[in-house]
C-alpha cells in the first residue's frame, strides 16, 4: 500500500476531500520526522511507537578490496508495533 492508497482509503471512509487528507497525512509524517530528529519518540496507543535506536560502533570489511573500515556509532529511526497490532496481523495474514 502506498501513500496515495492510504489517502484514497481515508478519503472514501470519511468523505473528506483527497487533497485535505493528503495534506494531513504529509503533516503527520513531517511531525514524526521532526520529533525523531529531536530525539523524541512518538507513541500511538493501539498502533505502535516510532523510536530512535542507537547503533554501536563496529568494524566492517570490504571483501573486494580486503580492507576494514570503522563505522561510527549512529542513530536510526525504527518502528515498534503495539501488541494489539501484532496480534491482529498474526490473526489475518496467512
Question: What integer pLDDT is reported at residue 9 of this predicted model?
Answer: 97
| Report field, pTM of the whole predicted structure over 0.85 | no
Question: What integer pLDDT is reported at residue 92 of this predicted model?
Answer: 80
Segments of the chain scoring below 70 in pLDDT: 93-94
- The per-residue pLDDT for range 28-52, each reduced to its tens digit, is 999 999 999 999 999 999 999 999 9
How big is the CA angle at 78 (ends 73 and 83), to the nearest 5 degrees? 135
Q: What are the extents of the domains in the chain?
A: 1-40
Amino acid at each position: 500500500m502506498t501513500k496515495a492508497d492510504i489517502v484514497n482509503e481515508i478519503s472514501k471512509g470519511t468523505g473528506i476531500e483527497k487533497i485535505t487528507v493528503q495534506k494531513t497525512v504529509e503533516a503527520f509524517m513531517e511531525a514524526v520526522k521532526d520529533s525523531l530528529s529531536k530525539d523524541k519518540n512518538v507513541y500511538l496507543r493501539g498502533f505502535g511507537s516510532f523510536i530512535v535506536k542507537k547503533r554501536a560502533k563496529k568494524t566492517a570489511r570490504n571483501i573486494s578490496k580486503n580492507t576494514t573500515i570503522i563505522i561510527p556509532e549512529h542513530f536510526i529511526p525504527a518502528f515498534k508495533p503495539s501488541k494489539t497490532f501484532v496480534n491482529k496481523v498474526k490473526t489475518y495474514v496467512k
